[in-house]
A and B are shown apart, each in its own frame.
Chain A
Amino acid sequence: MSIRRRLALVLGGFAIFTAAILTWAPTVGSTAISLARAFDRSIPWESNVDAQIFFVARLPRVLAGALVGAALAAAGVVLQALLRNPLATPFTLGVSAGASLGAMLAVTMQLEFGLLGITSIPLASFAGSLLATGIVYALAASQRRGLSTNVLLLAGVTLNAFFSALILFVQYIADFAEALRAIRWMMGGLDVASYTPIVAALPFVLLAFGAFAVMPRTLNLLSIGAEAASARGVEVKTAQRVAFLSASLATGAAVSLGGPIGFIGIVVPHLVRLLVGADHRIVLPASALFGASFLVVCDLAARTVMSPLEIPVGVVTALIGGPFFLWLLVKRS
């Protein structure tokens, strides 16, 4: 079987699976609806309750989950290849801590501003993620030759700790209700009220995915080492910058939409590698697709398992992801 054919078959399989999950997920919930009825154009919109529940109440949330899941999983793949470390996550380099600090400040300082229908919390968290990305990038790029992946890692981890301390400090001086609201945000949630936040995050995620699209073979080579990649014809400096900035952008957009939902960025890439091998031309798009369905299913569990009580989706992914991650860790050593 030619390589082209294998790529097409595997990715086609993942795409069909994801499409099926995304179509099925909105039909599940406290009120059962019929997919056939929801898509029946002969019934007028006003009287088609199934369509209203499908398109207005549930689909935005499913799409938000898909977008966030795809962005975090793909960003995880890119950062793992960039850092040559399978244990890296989209949050390793401080992006999510920056976003959380932004959200925290927006909540506690009661910033009430908006832009094109987007409220202050996602705007502030996106700004925070850009700030964190900028700091880490400036530190790592100050090295003369390319990005130092060691500096990236150390700067990212340190910035994470620093921002976390700031978050705790702001939380400590904030009033109880505000602190609780911010903590709730940090648990992650996909309960978007409309399509607006999705549409707002979409361009950034698409921009990042555009960069991801040209990267897979380069990521293969980066993962065998910068020197070897350069000898095989990779412009290492450029590739590293594009990889870091696009992965950070995808992460920042995802976190401002759904909060810092953990474990997607590491569990999904590992699962996909177990299934299809290490070639990034498959791993990257397949992880994006599988990340979308994985988060949508986790969110489905979050809103149905203890219904009418909702579990924060970040708790669900961590409950599934944590033990899985530990299992991987033990298996690796």
Chain B
Amino acid sequence: MWVRELLWADNVSFRYAPGAPLVVDGVTVRLSDGALAGILGPNGSGKTTLLRLLSGTRRPSSGRVLLGAQPLDRLSRRDAARQIAVVPQETELAFEYRAIEIVLMGRHPHLGVFTVEGPDDVRIATEAMAATGTGHLAERPFHELSGGEKQRVVIAAALAQSAALLLLDEPTASLDLGYQLEISSLLQHLNQQRGVTMAISTHDLNLAASICRELILMRNGRVLASGPTTDVLTPDNIRRLYDVEADVQVNSETGHTTVVPVRKVVRPSSARASEGQ
């Protein structure tokens, strides 16, 4: 089957300031239409930065990102935001917005400078809240919501952006087990029912194993391995990624892959010291 590439990072590298170390180092990532990809890697491996390059909020220091056939940096932010939505790790507000106001902000790239949201925009925002199970929170102040509710409202805002691509940065970090499950099934649903293409960075190997069809493993800004989840999520790769011995079990009944960390592998100190961030 031939699948269209929606987003393609071609050998991209990035440093935050001249002379600073490369945070992303020669990474190539292809997201095909309808993909649900997970990005795994230890802290500081460049996951968040890679997502920023993919969304175009940062420009690669070298290499390029293509959206469809177009270089992403040729698009205005407005045009890019109509096609790529982002769910950041944390959302901190300076002022006290209501949840619905946050979701309506997702309509920004679809509105003119002086245009006020019309009935269609309100409908799209309301539907996005319904899809994330936050409809009843619409009038509540955002800062009063629980962590899980906030995260779902922010996902609703990204959905209201009506973009074909959704990039999520650790969407389940800081959530309890119930919310983790809720978010992961929501993401799976959005991918399967609405055809939203997704890339999710996460530390949760089991979440990645259960919903992502392909995985990108990152360490020190480089791609360690990538490909279909079942091929990539091996004990060997997990050891190379996290220095952790792990049991990878495939449940023959459900087909679920479970990763059980066993112990930390002690690596020679010289090897660790030579790695930047």
Contacts and interface: CB of A to CB of B under 8 A. Distances in A.
Contacts of A241: none
A84 B95 CA distance: 8
Interface in B89-107: 91-98, 101-102, 104-106
A31 interface: no
Interface in A22-80: 80
Contacts of B117: 3
Nearest to B157: A232
A273 B81 CA distance: 29
A217 interface: yes
A234 interface: yes
Given A217-B108, A223-B95, A231 B101 contact: no
B116 A7 contact: yes
Nearest to A144: B17
Interface stretch (B72-80, B190-198, B212-220, B265-273): B72-80
A231 B94 contact: no
Interface residues of B, number: 41
Interface of A: 2-4, 7, 80-81, 84-86, 144-145, 213-214, 217, 220-221, 223-225, 227-228, 230-236, 273, 277-279, 281
B147 interface: no
Contacts of B116: 3-4, 7, 281
Given A235-B77, A279-B97, A279-B101, A228 B161 contact: no
Given A273-B95, A281-B116, A231 B55 contact: yes
B118 interface: yes
A236 B81 CA distance: 13
A212 to B, nearest CB: 12
A84 B93 CA distance: 8
Contacts of B17: 144
A224 B57 CA distance: 15
Contact of A224 (B81, B93, B104, B114): B93
Nearest to A222: B94
Given A84-B94, A231-B57, A231-B81, A224 B113 contact: no
B85 interface: yes
User: What are the 3 tightest A-B residue pairs by CB atom distance, in nearest-first order?
Assistant: A233-B81, A233-B109, A231-B86
29 contacts: A2-B122, A3-B117, A85-B94, A144-B17, A144-B18, A214-B113, A214-B114, A220-B101, A223-B95, A224-B91, A224-B97, A224-B102, A224-B105, A225-B88, A231-B81, A231-B88, A232-B81, A232-B109, A233-B77, A233-B79, A233-B108, A233-B109, A234-B108, A235-B76, A236-B77, A273-B95, A277-B96, A277-B101, A281-B116
Most chain B C-beta atoms within 10 Å of own C-beta, residue among A85, A86, A213, A233? A233
A3 B76 CA distance: 27
A84 B91 CA distance: 13
Contacts of B94: 80-81, 84-86, 223-224
Contacts of A86: 94-95
B105 A221 contact: yes
B203 interface: no
Nearest to A143: B17
A145 B20 CA distance: 14
Contact of A227 (B52, B101, B114): B52
B30 interface: no
A81 B93 CA distance: 10
B119 interface: yes
B82 interface: yes
B130 interface: no
Nearest to B48: A227
B95 A2 contact: no
A7 B88 CA distance: 30
Contacts of B93: 223-224
A277 B97 CA distance: 7
B85 A231 contact: yes
Interface in B53-88: 55, 57-58, 76-82, 84-86, 88
Nearest to B80: A233
B181 interface: no
A221 B105 CA distance: 7
A220 B113 contact: no
Contacts of A84: 94
Given A4-B118, A85-B94, A220 B105 contact: yes
B145 interface: no
A125 to B, nearest CB: 30
Contacts of A145: 58
Given A80-B94, A225-B88, A231-B55, A2 B105 contact: no
B260 interface: no
Nearest to B86: A231
B250 interface: no
Interface centre among A228, A236, A278 (most CB of B within 10 A): A228
Contacts of B77: 230, 233-236
Given A217-B108, A220-B97, 20 more contacts: A4-B116, A80-B94, A86-B95, A217-B105, A217-B113, A220-B105, A224-B91, A224-B92, A224-B102, A225-B91, A231-B86, A232-B109, A233-B77, A233-B79, A233-B108, A234-B77, A273-B96, A277-B101, A278-B96, A279-B101
A232 B88 contact: no
Given A80-B94, A81-B94, A86-B95, A217 B55 contact: no
- Scoring A80, A144, A217 by chain B CB atoms within 10 A of each residue's CB, the highest score goes to A217
Contacts of A3: 104, 116-117, 122
